[in-house]
């Protein structure tokens, strides 16, 4: 599983011109799933993402978690995180999980996050063409990856 975590001042996601979710301060998480992902790799990633300490404390040091700052999380599925351009310029998505398997993994990931951060996790719409808007704070962007092995 791969997750790109962006610390944001705000973020929103819309589908067909209709806003489906909006957060203030927190994380925008782009989540991609491989066909080899397991419940263990999904749980590990949820725990890692939810516990990241990338918000500044009073001394300006990144040591505070999302929970400590009262932040929210917006999770958006993104199969293109597994796009491979090693050969040619057109990405291959052979490593991405097929849609139905990815939907189950995405649901499990969101459920894990919601158990860790009750009331703070919002989502886009799986497999929809989404427009994501964000105000990156910092910018701070963290790549989190856990292979199934």
Max alpha carbon distance in the chain (Å)?
A: 48
Joined together, the tokens standing for residue 135 give: 């105000």
- Rounded distance between C-alpha atoms, residue 140 and residue 45, angstroms: 18
Provide the annotated active-site residues.
Answer: 78-80
CA torsion sign for 68, 63, 73, 42 is negative
- Rounded distance between C-alpha atoms, residue 134 and residue 7, angstroms: 9
């Amino acid at each position: 599983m791969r997750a790109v975590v962006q610390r944001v001042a705000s973020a929103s996601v819309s589908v067909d011109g209709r806003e489906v979710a909006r957060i203030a301060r927190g994380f925008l998480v782009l989540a991609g799933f491989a066909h080899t992902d397991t419940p263990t790799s999904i749980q590990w990633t949820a725990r890692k993402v939810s516990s990241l300490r990338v918000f500044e404390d009073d001394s300006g040091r990144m040591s505070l978690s999302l929970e400590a700052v009262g932040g929210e999380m917006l999770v958006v599925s993104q199969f293109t995180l597994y796009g491979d351009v090693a050969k040619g310029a057109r990405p291959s998505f052979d490593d991405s999980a097929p849609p139905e398997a990815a939907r189950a993994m995405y649901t499990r990931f969101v459920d894990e996050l919601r158990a860790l951060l009750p009331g703070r996790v919002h989502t886009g719409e799986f497999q929809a063409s989404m427009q994501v808007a964000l105000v990156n704070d910092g910018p701070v962007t963290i790549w989190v990856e856990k292979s199934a092995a």
